[in-house]
Amino acid sequence: MDLMTILAIVAALALGAFAIFLATRGRGQGAGETAEIVGRLAQMAESQAATQAQLSERLQAQERTLAKAVEERLADFSKRIGDRLQQSATQSQTTLTDLRERLAVIDKAQKNITQLSTQVVGLQDILANKQARGAFGEVQLRDIVEKILPPSAYDFQVTLGNGKRVDCLLDLPNPPGPIAIDSKFPLESYEALCAAREEPDIIAARRALAAALRVHVRDIAEKYIVPGETAESALLFLPSEAVYAEIHANFRGIVDESHQATVWIVSPTTLWATLTTIRAVLRDVRMREQAGVIQIEVQNLLKDVMRLDDRVGKLQSHFNQANEDVRQIRISTEKISKRGDRIVEVELEDPEAEIETEAAAPQLKVIPDD
């Protein structure tokens, strides 16, 4: 039951009660007054009914307006919810796509890491074996030398006069002469030093590394420095920048001892710089060796230039003689032309004067020959 119905019922009950009250009271009054009151009540009821009808129409109009507004709001809200859901779905799809791509990149990186780990394990296996470690150093030494020096400036695995075989021998002119390079890699001692944590272990590892380096320096000095065959110095190649840095930072005594033994410790970087300098020296030596050949060639070139000058002079004399011959030919042609003109003049004279001409024996001017 709506509000308008309730109001109408309440108004009808109020009018009925008021009518009963007037009827009861009007028993002692006149019938005319009662009828007048009843008429007024009827008018009031009609007016109340009209007012209620208008109010009902207004309420219904407001209800329809409110329902329409609510429907529009609900439609707009539903549209917004749908757009938000669509946007969320799109963003979720994009996020999932990016996530899949990143997972693919991570998977690829994981494969690379696995492969690198396998290679590192293989390198560790190689370095764990002394023979394989020596081959690793020789391969690195060969790669650096071949990249910098010309093939004629080095040889690998050369046997010296004392029967010792060196990893690489640089063929340099005297002085200094051929320089021997041997690869050494004291990996066990260096790893023990890196793994040491207590002070006694560190001291013991340092002593072991120093002893290994002294042995390598002594072996190179005794085996690969041969008087009269090689230079007075040799190179000890360490195929590890870390080991080289550790030696020069904390083993200055070993470095000084190697200098005294004329054995120079080099790493891949310093060997590269040393070989670059040697290449420049070789180039300078070759230029000086070729200086005499160049001078001889320049002298021969000067002789060829002088011979060419003589021939040009002879050719010029021939040209001058040819010019003189052409001038003489021009003179002869001019004389021939003049004689031809005189002959033409004789042939074109008047026929009546031929007798006189015959009698007179015409005299032609003779042009002397040169």
Report the pLDDT averaged over residues 20-25. Answer: 58
pLDDT value, residue 123? 46
Report the pLDDT averaged over residues 147-167. Answer: 86
Residue 192 has pLDDT above 80, yes or no: no
pLDDT tens digits, 301-320: 888 888 888 888 888 888 88
Confidence of residue 33 (pLDDT cuts 50, 70, 90): low
For 346, the token pair is: 């004789």
What percentage of the chain reaches a pLDDT higher than 90? 0
CA angle, residues 122, 127, 128, in degrees to nearest 5: 95
Residue 36 has pLDDT above 80, yes or no: no
Under CATH, which architecture does the 136-289 domain have? 3-Layer(aba) Sandwich (3.40)
CA distance 196 to 211: 17
Residue 364 has pLDDT above 50, yes or no: no
Domains of the chain, residue spans: 136-289, 300-331
CA distance 299 to 181: 43
For 55, the token pair is: 């109010």
Residue 272 has pLDDT above 80, yes or no: yes
Backbone angles phi, psi at 154, to 5 degrees: -155, 165
Give 178's contacts (C-beta < 8 A, 6+ positions apart). 169, 170, 171, 172, 229, 230, 231
Confidence of residue 122 (pLDDT cuts 50, 70, 90): very low
pLDDT value, residue 24? 58
